[in-house]
Structure 1
Amino acid sequence: MSRPKLPDIPWRTFRIASAVALATLLTTALVVAPADAKPDGPTPQPVLMPSMTNLDALPDDHLKVIEALQLQAAAQAAAHREAAAEAAAKRRAQEAKAAAEQRAQEAKVAAERRAAAKTAAEAKRPAAPPRANRSRSRGLPAHTATVSGAQSLARSRLSSAQYSCLSAVVEHESGWNHRAVNPSSGAYGLFQALPGSKMASAGSDWRTSPLTQMRWGLSYMKARYGSPCGAWNFWQKNGWY
């Protein structure tokens, strides 16, 4: 099948049709251009449209060609509008993605700062004493494993009069020397326990700990004489206890 032969268009008609199509394209481009777009070149000048009397004077075949050119220009304008809309949507999506990434980064930095502040606060917080030490103290003040610590322990458990009796017994027995040894009997420690291993009932460190020896001595005086003053009264009558 042979292609239809286009009608011969005079030069005057072609010029008019071209002017109409160009005017349509330029007008549409100005309509679809973004509001914030800045032209790179000089501002386009308005195109002088051919008068309707000139178009009315053209033959029908020539008018069909002009109509076809106008339809082509309208289609190109629609394509431009669609491309502009897609570009605007893409730009908005990119801006939203960048804003979301910025918020996520700020949230991460804030979380790291909170974690660092919590760690620093916990490092400055004083450590709680071990539970075993609290249960062993039974509400009494802490004492060091020295003779003065043993004396402080005795004062915290006895009245002033009872502590004076205990101190008198210990002073006569060992002179407050927790390593004192009786050369004849082998009695040992502050209270001259005989044998010294008796004090193991108060702790395995009875040889070196005045505190352990004091705990044993307090228990011994209460069990055997009722109190330190009972032990001191017996000592004064017998020279031993």
Structure 2
Amino acid sequence: MANFYLVDELPTEPGGLLTVTGAEAKHIATVARTRVGERMLVGDGRGRVVEAVTESVAPAAVAVRVESVRVTDAPAPRIRLAQALAKGDRDELAIQAATELGIDGVVPWQAERSVSRWSGPKLEKGRERWGAIVREATKQSMRAWLPGVADAASTKALIAAAAGERMLVLEPSAQHPITDIRPDGRDLLLVVGPEGGIAPAELDAFRAAGAELVRLGAHVLRTSTAGPAALSVLNAALGRW
């Protein structure tokens, strides 16, 4: 089962005919070169995934017959990643890997030391770009749930949006390792700073908001690898793996 696609609506019962159109149909027909009789998985990004067999293939529309339907509950507790904007493509690498590893939502964070800045038209363009990366990573990893991408947030807005969540801030100088974290039932917000680190004033603001500062280990990781590494630890602690 090598191919997974995302559409907005899916049949709820086996036996129905599903027509895939748009960019997904074009990919099925011209990139994957799927033939009649081949199987694929199609998800709606909200927990429902169907296994289907192709009945007709064309770049404009692909018809598939649904053979089985499965519904996966949303993970609980949820883990979101607040990823600081970073130079180059390091922030994009971070959210791509985090999506493959099971993150439940992504927040672009305009940290004080972020070299990359989103403003004006870049705000929506950047969010759309991250949304496309998350979507493709969801398909690659064949996930039933598509993580949401929030609007870009300042430090103040990030703290306000995290109300009710358990905020874990990655900081190399923190006293406690992330391996000490034990689930307490709350959703988690994992905060990862830019290449220059999180500014002292931001760390103070996070502490004042009740955030827990945690370290990954003896080494300092790049912003592109810190989030995925921390998420792996949390996946194990939460019993996801």
- 1 or 2, which has the higher helix percentage? 1
Same fold flag (TM > 0.5) = no
TM-score, normalised via structure 1 length = 0.19
Larger Rg: 1
Pick 1 or 2: higher relative contact order, CA cutoff 8 A, min separation 6.
2
